[in-house]
Amino acid sequence: MKYYNLFIYSFLMIFSLCSLQVKAQSGGDDVPFPESMILPMDSLLSDWRVRTFIISNEDCSTADENPFFEDSIYIDRLSRIPTVMEMPYNDVVRRFIDQYNTRLRKNVSVMLATANFYIPIFEEALDAYDLPIELKYLPIIESALNPSAVSRAGASGLWQFMIGTGKIYGLESNSLVDERRDPLKSTWAAARYLKELYDIYKDWNLVIAAYNCGPGNVNKAIRRSGGQTDYWAIYEYLPRETRGYVPAFIAANYVMTYYCDHNICPLETDFPADTDTVQVSKRLHFEQIADLCNVSIEQLKSLNPQYKRNIIPGDVKPYTLRLPHGQLCAFIDKEDSIYSHRASELFTNRRQVEAKRNTGTASKTAVRSSATTAKSNKVVYHKIRSGETLSTIARKYKVTVNNLKRWNNLRNNNIRAGKQLKIYR
């Protein structure tokens, strides 16, 4: 009887441990999907990138029905993806694969189209840091390949950097510029961050878990598990949203490789294939470029998502502008004209103002006198000749350079022959 009771106790202990392991492996229904997988389809399709550059593929259409496959098929297909990272299969991974192949079929079609533009950028940075190329699908679960995506927590861009982490890796964030949305800079920052995480954990599943919830939470899960350093062993100790992160990553690799087997067809993209960059050293508005370079505001936003207000603050420091090759040549040819085009209309921030103070009757009299004098001033227009400067013109009319700039809304001392200056005498 004693041994029988011991046997029953041992059996129950083993069953409990196995149940716990199965729960960790399967996750049940409480494993949340990443934000990129729960975005409404209408929101994705109304995105200006999709409206402007994604077009239907007349030779191929995504079927509504997803064929059923046995688990053994999924296991075999995952094993045949040439990866360094481990791609195991379980009920949780199956659940995420099913989501991509059913409810998110149209999203996958869109992502397959935009991938043609972004994946080469990802592959170049990952290869430079000697990282697994399959990490190129990490932005699929981070942002659904939308460079303007913003999470509920405030993470932004293709790689969903928080402001603090982005600044550590050299990504500038202010009211006008958010380099977390810059596909090129954010990708190289992400590659560097992933490399440093791997130097800590030496396990790629732990690396991408730490990328999602931070090294602190992964370290805490490792301690709570008794020092285990396997993702599936610390699974139940991770934050709830991170438990679905690695399965979602495995599912993204699967669907981006085997989408044809699930009757999903990629849409075609009209992104400009041939683009290049130029350095901007003056303040510039997208409307100035659009007016003179035959390029739409939407296309400028698409190629330069890091500029939040359609303004490039090149007067602070040089910034990069990406354009289709044809429009880039036009920009270089017309650069001076572009900078001056509608500048006074688009940039209204004053650099200096005079604060008038009321100090009594004498001041009021002075103000009235000044106003009367201004009304009686005669306005003349001076046509700028070649070789003239603001200083020489100011001396000729016995006024100050600052007055000339104020009267003509000039932001600097640059003037051009043939233009007219308004002068009060």
Per DSSP, the residues of 180-204 read: GG-HHHHHHHHHHHHHHHHHHHS-H
Cα(95)–Cα(274) distance, integer angstroms: 39
Token code pair at residue 189 = 């920052």
User: Which two tokens mark 371?
Assistant: 């106003």
Q: What Cα–Cα distance (Å) separates residue 277 from each residue in 227, 303, 327?
A: 49, 10, 11
110: number of Cβ within 10 Å: 23
Q: Which two tokens stand for residue 90?
A: 């379980």
Q: How many CB atoms lie within 10 A of CB 30?
A: 9
What DSSP string describes 212-236? HH-HHHHHHHHHHTTS--STTTSGG
Instruction: Please state, in angstroms and rounded to a whole number, the distance separating the CA atoms of residues 55 and 53.
Output: 6
Residue 283's DSSP bridge partners are: 313
d(CA 121, CA 184): 7
- Find out whether 52 and 262 touch, Cβ atoms under 8 Å: no
For helices 183-201 and 105-128, what crossing angle results, to 10°?
70
Residue 277 burial (C-beta neighbours within 10 Å; 0-12, 13-18, 19+): middle
**Residue 266 DSSP label:** P
Annotation marks residue 388 as catalytic: no
Specify the pairing of strand 275-280 against strand 420-424: unpaired
Tokens representing 140 are: 């699929």
Annotated catalytic residue, options 35, 134, 142, 179: 142
In whole angstroms, how far apart are CA 6 and each of 10, 19, 132? 6, 20, 49
Rounded to whole angstroms, how far apart are CA atoms 360 and 349? 31
Q: What is the DSSP letter of 284?
A: E
Residues in contact with 410: Cβ distance below 8 Å, sequence separation at least 6, in sequence order: 390, 404
Tokens of 124: 């170049």
- Which of 189, 178, 190 lies closest to 304 in space, CA to CA? 178
DSSP state of 177: B
Residue 252: phi, psi to the nearest 5?
-65, -40
Q: What residues act catalytically? A: 142
